[in-house]
Amino acid sequence: MTNLDFLPVSRDDMIDRGWWWYDFLIVSGDAYVDHPTFGSALIARLLEDAGYRVAFLAQPDWHSAADFEAMGRPKLGVLISAGNLDSMVAHYTAAKKHRSEDFYSPGKRMGLRPDRASIVYSNRAREAFPDTPIIIGGLEASLRRFAHYDYWDDKVRRSVLVDSGADLLIYGMGERATLEIAALLKKKTPVSAITGVKGTAYMTRSPELCPFEAIEVPDFDQCCDSKRFYAQAAKIQFEEHDPIRGRALFQGHGDRTLVVNPPQMPLDTKGLDKVAELPYTRWYHPMYEDMGGVPAIEEVRFSVTHNRGCFGGCNFCALAFHQGRMVTSRSIESVVREVEAMTKCEDFKGYVSDIGGPTANFRHPSCRKQLKDGMCKRSCLAPTPCPNLDPDHSDYLKLLRRVRAIPGVKKVFIRSGIRYDYMLQEENSEFFSDLVKYHVSGQLRVAPEHCVDGVLDYMGKPHVAVYEKFLDKYQRLNQRYEQKQFAVPYLMSSHPGCTLNDAVALAEYLNRHHRQPEQVQDFYPTPGTVSTCMYYTGIDPRTMKEVYVARSFGEKAMQRALLQWKRPEKRQAVIAALKAAGRTDLIGFGPECLIRPDYSPRKKAPAKKAEEVVPEKPKKTEYKAGWAKPKPKKNARPVKKGGKKK
């Protein structure tokens, strides 16, 4: 592949195409990977397909405006994304420590994007092009569109629109909104007049001009002063995030008002097929070859995303507030064409690593009612499935069977999350049987997250009895089909509502079932989730009742250590946790105990005095067991004492 196969990334690239001007500059915090799972690349190819000239600026030097100015001023606007991850999540662990690697950067190099990239890039773009419309989008902007709690500053920050100074914000999956805005800018509509596009947000002093039905949420100052006001605002924001029944939301920020228009309808099957099959190279730009490439491509190169949206309702997940809860999917024919193209790659070995998405086994809306009335405010699955749920896997099963039959495909795996509670609702076991027989690569990763039902309720997950029912059926199917496959649970420590005693209960549960988790995820308070609201406020926004929160790093470390109690380096933390929880009965030698008692080190025997040391007699030559003593040489003449050989 050459530079001409990609969008232009420099003025020389533009000249090679005969361009002396262009319409849009796409700025991304990720390296330039021309693949549909990279949001910036998708939007860029979508605009190109609509007839616009698009240039791509990946990971620019943000210390000055020089990189932004290098390709000249775009004719219509600058579109900015921090990348596939929130930039703070990309840089810091849940313990607020710097990460050592960035898989979305060449050679995994850290430091190629700034903290709070949406804000920094927007300010630099404004410096470079003072009169050009600047529009921010992507995951970071989407989840920070309202006044939000920021874990790293440990305070409530204003909408990212205020700090960035951008003209517009596109939230969610932004294809429809981007094309509408591009068409209006092409018609020379002032960006300040673009207020009627769904899926967008803007700042104004005249919120009454909003063309949609609207309600007001507590303003920024109220959210800073009162955690109850913050929880009330979050509750309204989550409930109104619906493309059918959702209303516009107003939130005051000083003398201006943030207006967040209702969400866009998700793309239908035809639209998803189109964006998935735009002319991507499906590889990183050649400029990264000498830098070690971009590792993130390896995870998605031979995988297929077949759906969007998730009605699973996990409270710690931001998907519902970004992609939305309404599930849509690509056609079977589109997925088959993508896999057939994979089989023609020289390094394709016959293994499709995933046919999945946010939740692999969701392929249609959870019920028919939502297509008319929108999503219900309650969860579709937790704590118990809704009576209207439609747990039909027939279309997904048909898709998997079509892909398995493609010449050159040896195996098709499912590595995205499986909702086992949804799967168990189906009357027949046809999908479950096919999953066990054909689509597990030795280990099936599922997410019970915990074993205490009260904690699972705060997480928005099914109760542990459902997980145990799934495990029992999974084991029976493995025996039936003579498979040796395992279920590996994802577990989370320190989620709001989880006490130290709850963590002990989970450790006991794992010990009884002879499981030692390889990985444990600490709860990470990222923007835009119900669980993060609980973490900051100590209030469950769904009920407005108080909830326990483990905030100190000490307690978080103890909860995590309890789930990995057999690791030697966790020993002291486990003992401290058991003592703090009043569960020293678990320190001992019984089968129910998690850890052995501490003993003082043995005293060494005193050394003997020098005069008492008796020198050892020289030992005779010893030979190792099984070794024969050396035999005398044949015909050797005997030697007389004191004499010589004769």
The pLDDT of residue 517: 84
pLDDT category of residue 646 using cuts at 50, 70 and 90: very low
Closest CA to 157 of 216, 76, 86, 62: 86
* pLDDT above 90: residue 604: no
Three-state DSSP at 319 gives: helix
Greatest mean pLDDT among 371-385, 576-590, 595-609 lies in 576-590
- Over 60: is that where the pLDDT of 365 sits? yes
Measure CA 363 to chain center.
20
Check residue 607 and give its pLDDT.
61
Rounded Cα–Cα distance for residues 119 and 161 (Å): 8
Half-sphere exposure of 99 toward its Cβ, with a 13 Å CA cutoff? Answer: 19
| 3 vs 10 pLDDT, higher one | 10
- In this predicted structure, the answer to whether residue 644 has a pLDDT above a threshold of 70 is no
Predicted confidence at residue 1, as pLDDT, reads 81
Mean pLDDT of 41-58: 98
Per-residue model confidence (pLDDT) at position 327: 96
- Residue 265 is given by DSSP the state P
| Residue that has been written with the tokens 């991507």 in this structure | 280
What is the pTM assigned to this prediction? 0.90
Residue 457: which of 420, 498, 426 has the closest Cα? 498
Looking at beta carbons, which pairs linking 479-482 to residues 24 or more positions away fall under 8 Å?
Answer: 481/433, 481/436, 481/437
Alpha-carbon separation of residue 519 from 104, 251, 354, 384, 564 (angstroms): 22, 40, 21, 27, 9
| Residue 119: how many other CB atoms lie within 10 Å | 25
pLDDT in tens, 456-469: 999 999 999 999 99
368 secondary structure, DSSP code = S
* pLDDT tens-place string over residues 166-217: 999 999 999 999 999 999 999 999 999 999 999 999 999 999 999 999 999 9
Question: Which sign, positive or negative, has the C-alpha torsion 25, 30, 33, 36?
Answer: negative
Coil, strand or helix: which one is 438?
helix
For each of the domains in the chain, give its residue range(s) and CATH number, in order of start: 3-202 (3.40.50.2300), 442-597 (3.30.750.200)
> CA 78, CA 59: separation in Å to the nearest integer?
14
pLDDT of residue 625: 42
470 vs 635: CA distance, rounded Å: 81
The pLDDT of residue 624 is: 44
Q: Does residue 358 or residue 516 have the better pLDDT?
A: 358
User: What amino acid occupies position 589?
Assistant: F
- Across the chain, what does the average pLDDT equal? 92
**245: number of CA atoms within 13 Å, CB side?**
16
Q: In the numeric block, which tokens belong to residue 588? A: 């001992």
Lowest-confidence pick of 131-135, 502-506, 513-517, 556-560: 513-517
- What's the CA gap between 53 and 20, in Å, rounded? 11
Alpha helices in 192-262 (DSSP H): 220-225, 227-239
Dihedral pair phi/psi, residue 586, rounded to 5°: -90, 5
Can you tell me the distance from the alpha carbon of 166 to that of 122, in angstroms, rounded to the nearest whole number? 6
Under 8 Å between Cβ of 59 and 29: yes
- Summarised one tens digit per residue, pLDDT across range 131-160 is 999 999 999 999 999 999 999 999 999 999
pLDDT digits (tens, 9 = 90+) for 60-104: 999 999 999 999 999 999 999 999 999 999 999 999 999 999 999
Q: Which residue has the tokens 């997925």?
A: 335
Q: Specify burial of residue 455 (Cβ count, 10 A radius: 0-12, 13-18, 19+).
A: buried
- Give residue-wise pLDDT tens across range 274-305: 999 999 999 999 999 999 999 999 999 999 99
**Which residue, 63, 54, 3, is CA-closest to 24?**
54
pLDDT value, residue 598 = 76
Q: Where are the beta strands (DSSP E) in 321-442?
A: 328-329, 351-352, 354-356, 411-412
pLDDT confidence of 633, banded at 50, 70, 90? low
Distances (CA, A) of 628 to 395, 623, 624, 633, 638: 75, 8, 9, 14, 22
CA distance 525 to 317: 10
Q: Is residue 60 a contact partner of residue 124, using CB atoms and an 8 Å limit?
A: yes
pLDDT value at residue 390: 93
Check whether 638 has a pLDDT greater than 70: no
Are 170 and 178 a contacting pair, CB within 8 Å? yes
Residue 500's closest CA among 563, 587, 580? 580
Q: CB burial class (10 A; 0-12, 13-18, 19+) of residue 535?
A: buried
Cis? peptide before 383, omega within 30° of 0 = yes
| Angle, CA of 387, 388 and 394, to the nearest 5° | 110
The CA distances from residue 129 to 20, 73, 428, in Å, are 17, 7, 60
* Largest separation between any pair of C-alpha atoms in the chain: 127
What secondary structure letter does DSSP report for 618?
P
Q: Rounded CA gap, 439 and 430, in Å?
A: 13
CA 233 remoteness from chain centre: 25
The b/e string for 350-383 (b: 16+ C-beta within 10 A; e otherwise) is: eebbbbbbbbbbbbbbbbeebeeeebbeebbbbe
Q: Identity (one letter) of the amino acid at 405?
A: A
Confidence of residue 602 (pLDDT cuts 50, 70, 90): low
Number of Cβ within 10 Å of residue 27's Cβ equals 27
Number of residues written out for the chain? 646
Residue 136 contacts residue 75 (beta carbons within 8 Å): no
Other beta carbons within 10 angstroms of residue 166's beta carbon come to: 30
Helix (H) or strand (E) holding 458: helix 453-459
Going from the C-alpha of 256 to that of each of 128, 159, 162, 205, the distances in angstroms are 25, 12, 10, 5
Q: Based on C-alpha coordinates, what's the Rg of the chain? A: 31
How far apart, in Å, do the first and last CA atoms of the chain sit? 88
Query: Contact 409/352 with Cβ under 8 angstroms?
Result: yes
**Cα 606 to Cα 631: distance, rounded to the nearest angstrom:** 46
Cα separation, 278 vs 294, whole angstroms: 21
Contact 486, 540 (CB under 8 A): no
Beta bridge mates, 352: 412
